[in-house]
Structure 1
Amino acid sequence: MRRKFVVATSLVGALALASGACSSGSGSSEAKGDAGDQKKSTGASPSAEPPAAAKQPITLAFGGDTHFEGPLRARLSSPATALGPIAKTLRAADLSMVNLETAITTGGTPAPGKEFTFRAPASALTALRASGVDVTSMANNHGMDFMAPGLRDSMKAIKRTGFPTVGIGRNAAEAYRAHRVTVKGNRLAIVGATQVLDDHLIAAWTATDAKGGLASAKDEPRMVQAVQEARKGADLVIVHLHWGAELKSCPLPRQQDLAKRLIKAGADVVVGGHAHVPLGGGFLAGKYVHYGLGNFVFSSAQGQTANSGVLVLRVENAKVTAAKWKPARISGGLPRLMTGPAAKTELARWNSLRRCTGLAARP
């Protein structure tokens, strides 16, 4: 297992330092460090700025929609093994991310008019960390399934566990704020937002200056602003979106339009999910876009919705230089990497999904 080494500042830091007020803040922490990321003495005076760490090539891993409903709930009793064998793949990357499609609460009232509502205890965040996940987005159409009380519980859990979480906050500034982390000399900024919200819940769920909620990609000018702010001081900007149409394997025009706008604003990687099936991915104007990662840890996955995988991107000199899809099949709610002829067949099918995306296979 290759250890991952990062230095981070994010909403988690703001929450950890807050004293109950709703004003934003920032903090930093050292985690999983190795000699390549540690500051070394150069003989310079104490007041001199330390030299920037040399950028080393890194790998980023992305998994799709994740929750802990049904039989998956019991797996939280052992957080270190909750995600099963796929954790080895997540830990092998320098930074891994999934979409946490659930409210983090054991109380609250289910959102009115929703057929499915998901929730999980705070141990879900512990399980993600133990499985090699470094950051998650809660900006999706289940992140506030238990309304304002569930949001308050989610924010408390994020603060208590210190787990990097984007796309959610006590106000718009927090919800749209980038999680910033330095990995092997690469300064990353990660933003999360959702383009999918039930019409009757948009007002209640969208974060504003006056109330908490989720970052909404329906407000495209605000998303452009978030990316532009993330761009400042970052070598690589990652935007994680909840978008698309369920069970549709080609991107919607609004997805393609938004991807172009965000790349123009400064995004280097745009990834996301929601469709419950994988969509295609590839390069657009030298940047990487993936329109749908499918289900990942998902109790109800079966048939076509059990097709899954891990997207692995290689970053060199602040650019994505290669992309690899590792196909998986969900069994018992957990993704398991495919091997042999079955994996080759599924990879070929996934590559064929690029035909309707307007994306290129190479930079």
Structure 2
Amino acid sequence: MRRNRVAAAAVAGTMTLTAAACGSSGDSEAKGATSPPAPSGEPSGGTQPTQPAKEPILLAFGGDTHFEGVLRSRLNNPSTAFGPVAKQLRAADLAMVNLETAITTGGTPAPGKQFTFRAPATVFKALKAAGVDVTSMANNHGMDYMEGGLRDSLAAIKRAKFPTVGIGKDADAAYRPYRVTVKGNKLAIVGATQVLDNNLIQAWTATDTQGGLASAKNVPRMVQAVKEASQGSDVVIVHLHWGAELQACPLPRQKELAEKLIAAGADVLVGGHAHIPLGGGYQDGAYVHYGMGNFVFYSANGKTAESGVLFLRVENGKVTKDKWAPARISGGIPIPLKGAQAKAAVKRWNGLRDCTGLQARPS
């Protein structure tokens, strides 16, 4: 999908990203993605293959997304399912959201859960149309319809060929990073969840012999996954489902995990679960965001309707600038804010950093 150059310059705003710096030169699995050079020994027009130059890239992240309840009918027209926020997602070189639902029309609802979410496979058409390039299903709703729903989800992912992390036929597949080269930058993206219902941990956690989700509760396995992802990568992105619902400050276990994953090689840690935005900032050369809040979410109202898109500019393997583009969810869809409303929302978002221990700018 070709990037909208005008939109790219507009959303970049104070990040001083020009259309030339953020534009895409072609179509691939991610906007702005490039193909690898020809293998050694293959003809290349008389010249040796060269690695593409690394250009600055723009990443975009949205929060918890599903198409439950009143949102289901929006999948009847996947091209417009995300509403106006899709313009912002398309403006990034790579965009990612948390897909908080099983992809099935069957399966058995998980026992003991008050809320179970599922959506048909057309959700992948909606994600692609909105400019989303990769998603994580490692969350406390990814296996809401148990083993049958998992089989359907994996089959739908395979048919759609949509990059999806944090879920798989076994642990190796669930923890395996999605790798893509974007404007010469080799990215590796890992997804995992730190939130699982106690009675479902065993059934939902991927193992050597069982399909399921990548669990961040297994810290050594998570550290191993990040170390493996960092091999041959310029940028490692870790998407985490973590924190406590409606709690605006990160839990000690979130901070502890962030520290360990940064030490293992993570450059970007972005997550969700609280249903409200949390703070973000810089730590030890990495960028950490503790909670994106809801994004496309049917029951959002009041505080849980506060939403937005996080933009990160990456240069030479590091995040150099960040921007919060605020939105408010109406009818389940995030509507970008403008003017005084946007300014006030950004001020609130910046204030959320106070309890995170993160820095406002890279050191």
Q: TM-score, normalised by structure 2?
A: 0.90
Question: CA-to-partner distance for each residue in 1:232-288, whole Å, 9 max, x for gaps?
Answer: 010000000000000000000000000000000000000000000000000001210
Take 1:59 and 1:259, find their aligned partners in 2: how far apart are those partners? 22
The residue that corresponds to 1:157 in the other structure is 156
Over 4 Å off, 4+ runs:
3-7, 30-34, 38-41
Please show how residues 43-54 of structure 1 align to structure 2 within 5 Å. 46=43, 50-54=49-53
Residue 255 of structure 2 aligns to a residue whose secondary structure is helix
The residue that corresponds to 1:239 in the other structure is 238
Question: CA-to-partner distance for each residue in 1:213-249, whole Å, 9 max, x for gaps?
Answer: 0000000000000000000010000000000000000
Tell me the amino acid that sits aligned with residue 230 of structure 1. Answer: A
User: What is the deviation of 1:49?
Assistant: 5.9
Q: 1:237 to 1:33 in 2, by over 3 A?
A: closer
Tell me the amino acid that sits aligned with residue 315 of structure 1. Answer: V
How many pairs were matched up? Answer: 338
The residue that corresponds to 2:71 in the other structure is 72
The residue that corresponds to 1:213 in the other structure is 212
Please show how residues 191-340 of structure 1 align to structure 2 within 5 Å. 191-340=190-339
Take 1:190 and 1:311, find their aligned partners in 2: how far apart are those partners? 16
Matched-pair contact (CA < 8 Å) for 1:4–1:32: no
The residue that corresponds to 1:186 in the other structure is 185
Matched-pair contact (CA < 8 Å) for 1:101–1:143: yes
Question: CA-to-partner distance for each residue in 1:154-191, whole Å, 9 max, x for gaps?
Answer: 00000000000000000000000000000000000000
Tell me the amino acid that sits aligned with residue 255 of structure 2. Answer: Q
Identity level (%): 69
Please show how residues 30-179 of structure 1 align to structure 2 within 5 Å. 30-31=28-29, 37=34, 46=43, 50-179=49-178
Q: 1:32 to 1:345 in 2, by over 3 A?
A: closer
Tell me the amino acid that sits aligned with residue 79 of structure 2. Answer: A
Residue 232 of structure 2 aligns to a residue whose secondary structure is coil
Residue 240 of structure 1 aligns to a residue whose secondary structure is strand
Q: 1:326 to 1:174 in 2, by over 3 A?
A: same
Q: 1:53 to 1:305 in 2, by over 3 A?
A: same
Structure 1 unaligned regions, length at least 5: 8-29
Question: CA-to-partner distance for each residue in 1:286-311, whole Å, 9 max, x for gaps?
Answer: 21000000000000000000000100
Matched-pair contact (CA < 8 Å) for 2:64–2:296: yes
Question: CA-to-partner distance for each residue in 1:109-162, whole Å, 9 max, x for gaps?
Answer: 100000000000000011001110000000000000000000000000000000
User: What is the deviation of 1:45?
Assistant: 6.9
Tell me the amino acid that sits aligned with residue 261 of structure 1. Answer: K
Take 2:96 and 2:347, find their aligned partners in 1: how far apart are those partners? 24
Q: 1:220 to 1:39 in 2, by over 3 A?
A: closer
Matched-pair contact (CA < 8 Å) for 2:37–2:50: no
Structure 2 unaligned regions, length at least 5: 6-22
User: What is the deviation of 1:318?
Assistant: 1.1
Tell me the amino acid that sits aligned with residue 303 of structure 1. Answer: G
Residue 88 of structure 1 aligns to a residue whose secondary structure is helix
Residue 313 of structure 2 aligns to a residue whose secondary structure is strand
Aligned-residue RMSD, C-alpha: 1.8
Matched-pair contact (CA < 8 Å) for 2:308–2:334: yes
Matched-pair contact (CA < 8 Å) for 2:31–2:133: no
Verify: 1:357 aligned to 2:356, yes or no: yes
Take 2:212 and 2:151, find their aligned partners in 1: how far apart are those partners? 10
Residue 344 of structure 2 aligns to a residue whose secondary structure is helix
